[in-house]
């Protein structure tokens, strides 16, 4: 995971429902959903020309960062 890439993702109250998005105001979750549906980096970049490869990698880093936490077993 490259935490430096997370700087590509912003949160702005007036864009994308105040969710995590790229500077081009494209939600991070949209990119993750496209990847989950099987879209390749090349397909995403062709459809969303304002995104860069580093943006897609940042979305993956963001997802990894969000899920990287200790899970405590229930007593």
Q: Give pLDDT, residue 22.
A: 57
Q: Which two tokens stand for residue 62?
A: 């963001």
- Split at pLDDT 50, 70, 90, the class of 45 is very high
CA pair distance 59, 11, nearest whole angstrom: 13
Indicate the pTM of the whole model.
0.72
CA pair distance 61, 59, nearest whole angstrom: 5
9, β-bridge pairs: 22
Largest Cα–Cα separation, the chain: 50
Query: Does 18 have pLDDT greater than 50?
Result: no
Q: Give pLDDT, residue 25.
A: 53
């Amino acid at each position: 995971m490259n935490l430096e890439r997370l700087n590509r993702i912003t949160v702005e109250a007036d864009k994308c429902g105040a969710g995590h998005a790229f500077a081009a105001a494209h939600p991070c979750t949209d990119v993750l959903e496209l990847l989950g549906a099987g879209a390749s980096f090349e397909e995403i970049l062709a459809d969303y020309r304002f995104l860069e490869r580093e943006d897609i990698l940042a979305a993956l880093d963001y997802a990894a960062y969000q899920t990287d936490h200790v899970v405590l077993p229930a007593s």
